[in-house]
Amino acid sequence: MTTAEPEFLTATRTFYDAVAADYADRYRDALAAMPWDRALLGVLAELVTTAGGGRVADLGCGPGRITGHLADLGLDVCGLDLSPRMVELARAAHPAIPFATGSLLDLPYQDGELAGAVAWYSIIHTPAGELPRVFAEFRRVLAPGAPLLLAFQAGDDVLRLDRPFGRPVALDFRRGRPERIEALAGAAGLTVTTRLVREPEPDERTPQAYLLAHRAA
Amino acid sequence: MTTAEPEFLTATRTFYDAVAADYADRYRDALAAMPWDRALLGVLAELVTTAGGGRVADLGCGPGRITGHLADLGLDVCGLDLSPRMVELARAAHPAIPFATGSLLDLPYQDGELAGAVAWYSIIHTPAGELPRVFAEFRRVLAPGAPLLLAFQAGDDVLRLDRPFGRPVALDFRRGRPERIEALAGAAGLTVTTRLVREPEPDERTPQAYLLAHRAA
């Protein structure tokens, strides 16, 4: 007897497998034009390094562009993604970084193993009812005091992305109110210490939110 | 016939003249331990540089520690402070940077002269009734599209700092709610595009707020 996978996991994997190559091309150099994203990732890297370093996971890493950036900042990184095709691309682009296939709902790390984590627009495909489990996993795998940096589209609604890059797939992109995401983190034992919201750039549809949280020391 | 200076200007100048040397010693290397402050200043520097560069003013620069950091980031900077003693210390520490004595209420710059500006904890001594004039001045001196980065203690109350460093002076430190400061900026024609609030570090009394605003292009 096996437990059926939740439908949203199947949909998310199918979607990103289908668009992986287009997505990797589209976003490969995007960070260069995103000073806020680099600033926030830089702060995370500095916090981890100042605290003595250790393994940092990019949770929902896609083709590994953020993972690679964090490695360039001197971190000992690894990446995790639900989509095997994304993981293939990430490995090809960053042969020195370990990437694995897996889900935010069941992270393949030991309790307290991580010195830091990034979830860069990766909580946005999980239905609200499953997010407490995701945040419980984030907390479980972080070492005491370790930081978690979240990025997501700010808002209340859901964007249904249909046939992106012309591919025959569709997926829900769930915006989050920063206060709601902060409450979820707090309920899981992660304390948010920095909140940033910026207005959309011309190619973005919503304000962008970033939260830095810490597991209690 | 001369117009008497508002009392808060006299009090602010007297206070900072009295503590200038102690303050300069206390905060000289503080930025090294403040990743968020450096991250935000770095974004400002990048925005100015990407837009083609130009003169950037540190408004309320004290002994010039932020001014010097912005110069290290490659910006063409100048500094302004109400306290002659602070300006002396700034010049001594950064001989290549032009510093001037003056007030946020009457900035010594031409209309649209600045490619960017920083007001780092410098709006906090101006009574609420005078802040619209300060923001009107910020807007006046910025070039179209130019960014302004503000830092201030978040809150609603006023801290009366009495005999700091044992000196016989006192001054009001006015916390600001980010939404209120954003409204003041907006009323003056400055659009806030990024808002960050972080929890206090152990040596701080309040959350710290940072706003990035732009004059309309």
Given a cut of 80, whether residue B28 has pLDDT beyond it is: yes
Rounded CA gap, A141 and A39, in Å? 25
The percentage of residues in chain A with a pLDDT greater than 90, rounded to a whole number, is 96
Amino acid at A66: I
CB contact under 8 A, B199 and A194: yes
Rounded CA gap, B65 and B44, in Å? 16
Rounded CA gap, A102 and B156, in Å? 46
Q: In Å, how far are A135, A150, A199, B130, B164 from A153, measured between CA atoms?
A: 17, 10, 10, 36, 44
Rounded CA gap, B66 and B151, in Å? 12
Nearest CA in chain B to A194: B198
When pLDDT is averaged across residues B149-175 and rounded to a whole number, the result is 94
Nearest CA in chain B to A193: B199
**pTM assigned to the model:** 0.95
A10 touches chain B (CB under 8 A): no
- The single residue listed with the structure tokens 């939260």 is A211
- The single residue listed with the structure tokens 């209690």 is A216
Rounded CA gap, B104 and B83, in Å? 12
Say if CB B20 and CB B89 are below 8 A apart: yes
H or E element, residue B179: helix B178-187
End-to-end distance of chain B based on CA atoms, in angstroms? 40
* pLDDT tens digit sequence for B89-113: 999 999 999 999 999 999 999 999 9
Q: How many CB atoms lie within 10 A of CB A128?
A: 10
Between strands B208-215 and B190-198, the pairing is antiparallel
Q: Which two tokens stand for residue A152?
A: 């997501």
Q: Which two tokens stand for residue B105?
A: 């209420």
CB contact under 8 A, B194 and A36: yes
Rounded CA gap, A162 and A168, in Å? 8
Identify the residue among B41, B196, B211, B214 best suited for mutation to test binding to A, counting A beta carbons within 10 A and taking the highest.
Answer: B196
The DSSP secondary-structure symbol of A33 reads: G
- Residue A217's pLDDT is 87
When pLDDT is averaged across residues B176-193 and rounded to a whole number, the result is 98
pLDDT band at B4 (very low <50, low <70, confident <90, very high): confident
Q: Which of A35, A43, A50 sits opposite B36 (nearest CB)?
A: A43
Q: In Å, how far are A61, A85, A117, B33, B103 from A70, measured between CA atoms?
A: 11, 21, 11, 20, 42
CB contact under 8 A, B194 and A47: no
Given a cut of 70, whether residue B1 has pLDDT beyond it is: no
Q: Which of A39, A193, A212 sits opposite B43 (nearest CB)?
A: A39
Give A-chain residues touching B36 at CB under 8 angstroms.
43, 194
The DSSP secondary-structure symbol of B4 reads: P
Size of interface A-B (CB pairs under 8 A): 43
Nearest CA in chain B to A40: B39
ipTM above 0.90, yes or no: yes
Q: In Å, how far are B102, B159, B160 from B13, measured between CA atoms?
A: 10, 17, 15
Which residue positions in chain A have pLDDT lower than 70?
Answer: 1-2
A33-72 residues touching B, CB cutoff 8 A: 35-36, 39-40, 42-43, 46-47, 50
Rounded CA gap, B97 and B90, in Å? 9
CB contact under 8 A, A198 and B198: no
